[in-house]
């Protein structure tokens, strides 16, 4: 019997490994940027075309590679960082498994140019699908240039699973930002389709965060710092008033490596307990340094998840550190029953001398020098011109009090007998029933709200129970979609335009959906690199809801919700409908309930919400009879 198990050819094994390492163009960006950082570069340039599907090029000024190393780096499990198994627990660099370049070369056209500083000439390699097509000597600058072209050219099924250019480029930006934030001492530049998207000079952590997320970020940051034997914590957290609905600006870095940790995220949320609104997420940029032997990095293919030796201690330290930072800068409320705010001394009084209070006495004061006012007849008053005391006795003087003037205010206000005779009283008509026929009919046709969540309306066969939130979503969705399609939405102009600030990634999304937002009724006066100016709003959007609405729409597009197979107009209409729909727990008037019922059944598809959830159910009289018959 022939053998069943066979060894895979190298090119097939590399393509299988590429499925773990290279999921999308952003995975290639991450691997190449980390290799450039490990090479000791001080300047790194990333050039991307068509969101990385056509070209991903990383140019650095690092130490470069020799001729032999430039060939070996594309072999499987070839690495310069590991010699023994124990080295896995003493890692100070990014890449270490030696799978990335071999996997990338198996599914793309790769071009490598590299030269070491001591060499006069460099090496130029071209690889197509793991096959070396050319190798030659070339005149090159110091450093390395990796060009990855036509990703997944030999695996069309994988290429078809890639999202749109907008979505893929958003993932590229995420990986670029994570590497750039972890290494603020390196300058980074990002170009996309010939346009400069980021130009980040080297600086400190705060400058790097501000350069990436915009100038307004600086006022949001609260510094965090703690040093213990277990971990050294640094970085920043955002003030509670700048919390967002999305979880975009949340970063953990362990030994300059970006990680994801729900456990540590819970520690941050615990530190913000009582400071955030429901559903809001704080921003944070936490840098942690731990001994390399206390963590295991090699537990996830993308190395974004690591395992700590003592997670409980790390949780407690992180939570207390953030709480201390928020309290130190008077962001968290302080409960002190013995503190008197009136006794607080300003800092500018520190070097001032104490002022001794003085008492000034008017020795010429005579309480009997002037005549005291008379309050009533028989009251005592001193005689004018001097003291009425003569020795041990005094003589009181009486003055007649004037007629009070307030009585003249009410002259002529008393009603005369003729006026009283003209007053008529409305007679009360007594009827035989509490309600007339019209009122009974109105009571039958009236809608009712149950638990501020459902609207009940009677129909011929029984009653219909409507979910007010889902019904309003369907109404708004069809309205917005119709406005976007017809392009005839009405706007309400603002007396004072709104200025909203966003980071570069969010600004790219807003530019992408600008046309659709304008068709729904938004009017944009300005579009700048880090902020927009809104001068007009859709009729049913309040001014206070604009920032929340745009934030949720941006978050939906970032998270690819709804499904990316829908058109952009459909996604925006769904996001806006979900954001503006009436919430569960909102009390509606009878008129609002009737309008919602009428508008729902005027829709093209009133049965389901935009997210395919039922909007109403019907209960027949027969069903009710059966329930009472039990």
What is the DSSP code (8-state) at residue 498? E
Q: What is the pLDDT of residues 528-572, one digit of tens each?
A: 878 899 999 888 788 888 888 888 888 777 766 444 445 677 878
Res. 155: pLDDT tops 50: yes
Q: pLDDT higher for 433 or 466?
A: 466
Q: What is the pLDDT of residues 495-536, one digit of tens each?
A: 889 998 888 778 888 888 888 888 888 899 888 878 899 999
* pLDDT for 435: 44
Q: What is the pLDDT of residues 2-12, one digit of tens each?
A: 677 777 776 66
Q: What is the CATH number of domain 10-200?
A: 3.30.565.10
* pLDDT for 527: 84
The torsion angles phi and psi of 12, rounded to 5 degrees, stand at: -75, -40
Greatest Cα pair distance in the chain:
146
Q: ∠40-173-268 over CA atoms, to 5°?
A: 90
* pLDDT for 407: 57
Q: How many CB atoms lie within 10 A of CB 583?
A: 10
Q: What is the pLDDT of residues 325-353, one digit of tens each?
A: 988 876 666 555 565 666 666 666 667 77
**Tell me, which fold does domain 205-328 have in CATH?**
Ribosomal Protein S5; domain 2 (3.30.230)
What is the pTM for the complete model shown?
0.69
Q: Where are the beta strands (DSSP E) in 349-397?
A: 389-390, 393-394
Q: How many CB atoms lie within 10 A of CB 205?
A: 19
Q: Hey, where are the domains in the chain? A: 10-200, 205-328, 449-618
- What are the distances in angstroms from CA 559 to CA 247, 336, 473, 566? 10, 43, 20, 14
Q: Mean pLDDT in the chain?
A: 80
Question: Of 629, 591, 597, whose CA–CA distance to 463 is shortest?
Answer: 597
Q: What is the pLDDT of residues 278-323, one digit of tens each?
A: 878 899 999 999 988 888 776 666 667 788 888 899 999 999 999 9
pLDDT band at 130 (very low <50, low <70, confident <90, very high): confident
The stretch 161-190 carries a mean pLDDT of 90
* pLDDT for 126: 93
* pLDDT for 341: 60
CA distance 539 to 522: 9
What is the DSSP code (8-state) at residue 366? -
Q: What is the 3-state secondary structure (H, E, C) of 211-246?
A: HHHCHHHHHHEEECCEECCCCEEEEEEECHHHCECC
CA distance 32 to 179: 11
**Tell me, which fold does domain 449-618 have in CATH?**
Ribosomal Protein S8; Chain: A, domain 1 (3.30.1370)
Q: Is beta strand 55-60 parallel, antiparallel or unpaired with respect to 43-49?
A: antiparallel
pLDDT band at 146 (very low <50, low <70, confident <90, very high): very high
């Amino acid at each position: 019997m022939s053998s069943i198990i066979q060894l895979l050819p190298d090119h097939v094994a590399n393509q299988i490994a590429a499925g773990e390492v290279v999921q999308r163009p952003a995975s290639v960006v991450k691997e190449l940027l980390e290799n450039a950082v490990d090479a000791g570069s001080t300047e790194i340039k990333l050039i991307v075309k068509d969101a990385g599907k056509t070209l991903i090029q990383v140019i650095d000024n690092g130490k470069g590679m020799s001729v032999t190393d430039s060939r070996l780096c594309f072999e499987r499990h070839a690495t310069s960082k590991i010699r023994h198994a124990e080295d896995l627990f003493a890692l100070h660099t990014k890449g270490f498994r030696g799978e990335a370049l071999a996997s990338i070369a198996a599914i793309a056209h790769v071009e490598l140019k590299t030269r070491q500083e001591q060499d006069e000439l460099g090496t130029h390699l071209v690889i197509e699908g793991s096959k070396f097509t050319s190798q030659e000597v070339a005149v090159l600058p110091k450093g390395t240039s990796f060009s990855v072209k036509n990703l997944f050219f030999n695996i069309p099924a994988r290429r078809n699973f890639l999202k749109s250019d907008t979505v893929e480029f958003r993932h590229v930006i995420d990986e670029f930002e994570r590497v750039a934030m972890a290494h603020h001492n390196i300058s980074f530049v990002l170009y996309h389709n010939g346009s400069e998207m980021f130009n980040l000079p080297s600086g400190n952590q705060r400058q790097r965060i501000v350069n990436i997320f915009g100038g307004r970020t600086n006022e949001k940051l609260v510094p965090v710092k703690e040093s213990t034997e277990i971990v050294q914590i640094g970085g920043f957290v955002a003030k509670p008033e700048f919390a967002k609905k999305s979880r975009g600006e949340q970063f953990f870095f362990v030994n300059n490596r970006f990680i994801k940790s729900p456990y540590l995220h819970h520690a941050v949320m615990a530190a913000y307990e009582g400071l955030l609104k429901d559903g809001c997420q704080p921003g944070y940029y936490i840098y942690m340094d731990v001994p390399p032997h206390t963590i295991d990095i090699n537990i996830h293919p993308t190395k974004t998840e690591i395992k700590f030796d003592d997670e409980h201690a790390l949780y407690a330290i992180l939570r207390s550190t953030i709480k201390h930072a928020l309290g130190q800068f008077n962001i968290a409320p302080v409960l002190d029953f013995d503190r008197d705010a009136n006794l607080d001394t300003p800092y500018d009084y520190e070097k001032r001398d104490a002022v001794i209070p003085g008492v000034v006495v008017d020795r010429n004061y005579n309480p009997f020098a002037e005549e005291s006012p008379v309050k009533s007849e028989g009251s005592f008053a001193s005689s004018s011109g001097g003291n009425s005391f003569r020795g041990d006795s005094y003589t009181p003087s009486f003055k007649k009090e004037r007629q009070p003037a307030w009585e003249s205010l009410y002259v002529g206000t008393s009603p005369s007998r003729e006026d009283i005779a003209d007053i008529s009283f409305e007679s009360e008509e007594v009827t035989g029933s509490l309600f007339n026929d019209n009122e009974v009919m109105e009571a039958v046709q009236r809608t009712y709200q149950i638990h501020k969540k459902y609207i009940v309306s009677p129909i011929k066969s029984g009653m219909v129970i409507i979910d007010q939130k889902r019904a309003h979503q369907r109404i708004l969705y069809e309205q917005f979609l119709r406005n976007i399609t017809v392009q005839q939405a009405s706007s309400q102009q603002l007396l004072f335009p709104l200025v909203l600030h966003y980071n570069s990634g969010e600004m790219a999304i807003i530019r992408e959906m600008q046309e659709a937002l304008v068709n729904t009724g938004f009017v944009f006066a300005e579009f700048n690199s880090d902020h927009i100016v809104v001068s007009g709003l859709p009729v049913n959007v309040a001014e206070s809801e604009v920032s929340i609405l745009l934030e949720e729409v941006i978050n939906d597009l970032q998270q690819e919700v709804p499904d990316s197979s829908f058109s952009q107009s459909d996604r925006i209409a769904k996001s806006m409908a979900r954001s503006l729909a009436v919430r569960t727990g909102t009390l509606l008037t009878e008129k609002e309930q009737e309008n919602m019922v009428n508008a729902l059944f005027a829709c093209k598809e009133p049965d389901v919400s935009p997210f395919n959830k039922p909007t109403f159910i019907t209960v027949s009289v027969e069903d009710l009879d059966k329930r009472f018959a039990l």
